[in-house]
Structure 1
Amino acid sequence: MPRRTWSSRLLDVSAVLVPGIGRVRAQKEPFARSWASANRLALASGRPLWVALGDSMTQGIGAHDVDGGWVPRLNARLGRPFAVLNLSASGARIQDVLDAQLPHLPEAPTLVTVLVGANDMLTPSRRRDVPARFATLLERLPPGRSVVATLPQGNAEARAVNALLDEAGAHGRIEVADMRGPALGPLRGSLASDWFHPNDVGYESIAGIFEGPVRACLARRARD
């Protein structure tokens, strides 16, 4: 039986004290099963592939259902041109994207999005080496077809990651979905009942943040 971590035990206690935490956590397995089924259909569809990498926010945890997350919302805004291969996982950190998600990236996807880092920001020990890990992630993404979100936190590690993203964006390797400052809008009314994940309102905001960079990425590819 796998060893329980201190953070997982703390979440168990918190779920008792704050019922909303338990309700949101209960979405993890059904959402993962839903995406796994959708992924099989996406790979067999022959349609242009959008590969979504990241953590529970790319799974859509906190939304009313799996279609309420930012990925389905943005695909709808774009006219549903993509079959979505969602390789994200709840609880994922940057190293998990490197080790468990990128190795499954299909050859020449039309679009790749990355929204990860929130779980790396939770404690000082987790933040250690985050810029170096993110630099490795950027090196492994397909250039010219990737959109990567900045980190909204204001600590030194987040600022260092965002500087890497700005540089990669300036050189045309990626498009940047900027979640800094007021981009996400007010927290009030945009969080799920666990007070951590977005709700439908929050995911609509994230879809809006990604829409412009995704359209720019697709337009650049069409010109090239």
Structure 2
Amino acid sequence: MPTWTGRVLDAAAVVLPGIGRVRAQKEPFARAWEEAGRAALASDRPLWVALGDSMTQGIGAGTVAGGWVPQLNARLGAPFAVLNLSASGARVADVLEDQLPRLPARPALVTVLVGANDMLSRSRRRGVADRFARLLDELPPGRSVVATLPRRNAAAREVNALIDAAAADGRVRVADLRGPALGPIRGTLADDWFHPNEIGYARIAGLFEPPVRAVTQGDSRD
């Protein structure tokens, strides 16, 4: 049975065909990442494990390659085999319960971009800071890059303070999506007017690039 949000999207897709086009990417993108993940686990290249929601899946880009994860890997010279454990619609609890338990031993890099779906309603925001604190505690120290939340509500500010504290302790690096970091949105959104397109994902890749380079170039503060 669809959630309230799902029913709203179903209705909106009738009026705005772009919503339906973007939603239709969910299953083929997930299959592509599953196939890539099997190859990554069989590879001898350093392993990048990507955790998160539809934005880490790359939903909204024209192809899987247009998402921020493939764009950033290409900018770096494609050194990583990528195991993308993210899932469309995922919340912080899903990363804790479904994604982190599948984290292989000693990945070279772990990235986290999650929390947008937890901000959609007051009931979803309840307890999110406690869950994010647990998430930060369970990430591999010195090898993890975590994105802050661009939203400015109290729950997002509390989560961001936790991320900043973990960075100050040397546990994680920060990809900062707050304030003007993502720039003007004109020309950066997909057909559903919610997810980024390739241009928007390029901006996210650019925000992740410095902290990822800091980790992968050996300045991991382990």
Shorter-chain TM-score range:
over 0.9
Q: What CA deviation, in whole Å up to 9, does each residue of 1:82-132 have, x standing for no partner?
A: 000000000000000001100000000000000001101111111111110
- Counterpart residue number, 2:157: 159
Unaligned residue ranges in structure 1 (runs of 5+): none
- RMSD of equivalent CA atoms: 1.1
Tell me the alpha carbon deviations over residues 13-71 of structure 1, each in whole angstroms, 9 at most, x when there is no partner. 01111111000000000000100100000000121100000000000000010000000
3-state SS, counterpart of residue 152 of structure 1: coil
Partner in structure 1 of residue 167 of structure 2: 169
Distance 2:122 2:89 in 1: 17
Give 1:222 shift: 6.9
2:188 matched residue in structure 1: 190
The whole-number CA distance in structure 1 between the counterparts of 2:192 and 2:6 is 15
Residue of structure 2 equivalent to 1:117: 115
Corresponding residue number in structure 2 for 1:205: 203
Q: Which residue, 176, 179, 190 being the options, matches 2:177?
A: 179
| TM-score normalized by the length of structure 1 | 0.97
Q: Which runs of 4+ in 1 moved over 3 A?
A: 220-224
- Give distance in 2, aligned partners of 1:223 and 1:195: 39
In structure 2, the partner of 1:140 is 138
1:7 CA displacement: 1.5
Between the aligned partners of 1:176 and 1:28, the Cα distance in structure 2 is 27
Letter in 2 for 1:144: G
* Residue-by-residue CA offset, 1:132-183 (whole Å, 9 max, x unaligned): 0100000010000000000000000000000001111111100000000110
Identical aligned pairs, as a percentage?
72
CA contact (8 A) 2:143 2:220 kept: no
| Aligned residues between the structures | 222
In the superposition, the TM-score normalised over structure 2's length comes to 0.98
CA–CA distance in structure 1, aligned partners of residues 136 and 177 of structure 2: 17
- Tell me if the contact between 1:39 and 1:86 (Cα under 8 Å) persists in the aligned partners: yes
Residue in structure 2 matching 1:34, options 32, 35, 53: 32
| Counterpart Cα distance in 1 of 2:124 and 2:218 | 36
